[in-house]
Amino acid sequence: MVFEKKGNALIGREKNETLCIEPWGKDSLRVRSTVLPEFSGLDRALTEDIDKGSADIKLAEKEGGLWSGSITNGRIRAEVNPSGIVAFFKDDERVLYEYNRNYGVPLTKETRCLKAEAREFTGSASGSFKLTARFERNEGERIYGCGQYQHPYLNLKGCSLELAQKNSQVSIPFALSSLGYGFLWNNPATGRVTFGKNLTEWAADESNELDYWITVADKPAEILEKYTAAVGRAPVLGPEYLGFWQCKLRYRTPEEVLSVARRYNEMGIQLDVIVIDFFHWPYQGSWRFDEKYWPEDKVKAMCDELHSMGIKVMVSIWPSVDKRSENYEEMLMKGYFVRNERGGIETYDYQGECATIDVFNPGAREYLWSKCRENYKRLGIDLFWFDNAEPDSIIYHYDNMRYYTGRASMVANEYPKYYLRTVSEGFMGDGDGMRPSLIRSAWAGSQKYGAVLWSGDVPSTFEAFRDQISAGLNAGLAGIPWWNSDIGGFMTDDVNDPEFQELLLRWFGFGVFCPIMRLHGDRGPYDIPPLDTRDFGAGYLHTGQPNEIWSYGEENEAIMKKFVELRLSMRDYIAGLMKEAHENGSPVIRTMFYEFPEDEACWECEDQYMFGPDYLVAPVYTCGARERELYLPAGKWENIFTKEVTEGGKRVCVSAPLDQIPAFKRL
């Protein structure tokens, strides 16, 4: 490889590959490679205007030719050998290596004959490339972040993760290493990352450019601070959103909504947000209320009364557009739909034949916001819930869907971020400032647009509940501080099942110590008659059983009310956490090692966490359990329910009746 210094970048060339390494923020480097004549110029997730640093570039000569190079930015150094292999160092320590792509190196004893390129571009019929980047193993390394996956593993070492957005699966390709570096795969293509024992491998299904970003620091908090400085941070979420949100599938009329709000008001419980779920519309893609059940005058009156109680109103919108919608033909003519590569535009078939709005198209985003402004905001609706934000699809053949900016296999993972921009930029453009939006998917940097990520339509089981602990913590380490789950899980067969009711209480306690506390679910059995016999509109689709805190008997109501009151008492503390998230990117719910990186035992804790710097929380996720073992780091800890003080630095067994979640305050 031949090297040169070009401005602030180290450039290497060999055959038809160009390698570019340049400083990109404090102690950080960006690495790009292409086999095309030029780089794309796209920054993808690296959107923020930051001080990129000043590079110290050195070139080595041998027999009159430049044969290796290095680039240093603060505490990080990259060295490139004559074969083009990049090695990274933090100060004088190795961080990670790319594999030797010319000669191959022994990976493990089982694969010592394998030859594998460090940066592999494999041509395809599309004219783009399947792209793979391989890195050496690091013994004892732990990997965290990467978004949200439905498994119990906090440490992702040994995991293989699909890089694709699906219901309950959120791909945010930022990995935080226990060795003191953070790594962003700056590519929105679908693909896979494998954190194997023998190697780490990132793969894009279709791409023209390798692009990744790496930073180094001593503590996880410092890594997150540098990462979010590069991709963006959440705005400050005000205290008016930090109490209790009420939701169910689904409220069918303004009267149903008001009856719920009035009862909470009578009980002395302040609701912050009440949510109107899907199929309040005549057809998908109408983006308006069905006048038969939601007439404008009643919607306005509903919003006025809710606002008088201090409650904000949120409605669900979907990206799917039914062929029967009044907007379908206009959007079709203007080219506002995702299209199939092999004919047709139908991409979704739940309750109708639907196309999907192409939010990569600026015109489509403007069109959607015009409908939201006219049909919702004008009536008093405050907030939006972006459901199906992946977007959901009949079948996930990414190479058979094309967006405004390219095939889905090349750009799809960024869809939820562009979808969220629709309303974020709409509110900002109207002078309303930033408002939070509930959304079912995200990508790197979504937090800057006010993403309240929730974990999707997860089952109402203790197993799924356990998975949410890891999901929320890893989402936070991927840069999303505003995370939540459907309290009780989404899919419930029988609300009268004692095991479900126990699960609901355990999940409710967990919800107290999440960034957003929101009760939601589709509660069976489905024996409530529909309002209408038509096969469309707001009246025909089923509604689940009542899902308010009084819906499960007096004993359960008393426990949930106690938890809500606890949450409301912490509003000022949580507001401080939201300010911190805005200032330095810190998650609201944090892994134990985030707060105690020097404590080796905290790196082993996968089922407990810190709620900000002061509260340690250990959810009970086993049916029938009435006690829970947990680890207390060194120091004094006060049980928030019993007020008992315990000296830390050890594991303890804590009593956990149904009206308590094991939680300790650091003294």
Active site residue: 209, 290, 382, 387, which one?
A: 387
Crossing angle of the two packed helices 362-375 and 415-429, in degrees rounded to 10: 50
In this structure, the strands spanning 383-386 and 312-317 are parallel
CA angle at residue 23 from 22 to 24, to 5 degrees?
115
Active site residue: 390, 414, 467, 548, which one?
A: 390
Query: What burial class does residue 600 get, using C-beta atoms within 10 Å of its C-beta: 0-12 exposed, 13-18 middle, 19+ buried?
Result: exposed
Q: Is 457 a catalytic residue?
A: yes
The answer to whether the beta carbons of residues 272 and 311 sit under 8 Å apart is yes
Q: Is 390 a catalytic residue?
A: yes
> What residue ranges in 367-506 does DSSP mark as E strands?
383-386, 401-403, 406-407, 437-439, 451-454, 483-484, 491-492
Q: Which residues, 6 or more positions from 297, have their beta carbon under 8 angstroms from its beta carbon?
A: none
- CA-only gyration radius of the chain, Å: 26
- In the DSSP assignment, the letter for residue 178 is T
Three-state SS annotation for 266-317: HHCCCEEEEEECCCCCCCCCCCCCCCCCCCHHHHHHHHHHHHHCCCEEEEEE
Q: Is the dihedral of CA 533, 539, 545, 551 positive or negative?
A: negative
According to DSSP, the residues that pair with 316 across neighbouring strands are: 385
Using the CB atoms, write b or e for 286-295: b if 16+ within 10 Å. Answer: bbbbbeebbe
What phi and psi, each to the nearest 5 degrees, are found at residue 22? -145, 155
Active site residue: 27, 79, 382, 457, which one?
A: 457
Residue 160 to residue 396: CA distance in whole angstroms:
18
Residue 402 to residue 29: CA distance in whole angstroms:
32
Q: Is 211 a catalytic residue?
A: no
- Which residues have a catalytic role annotated? 387, 390, 457
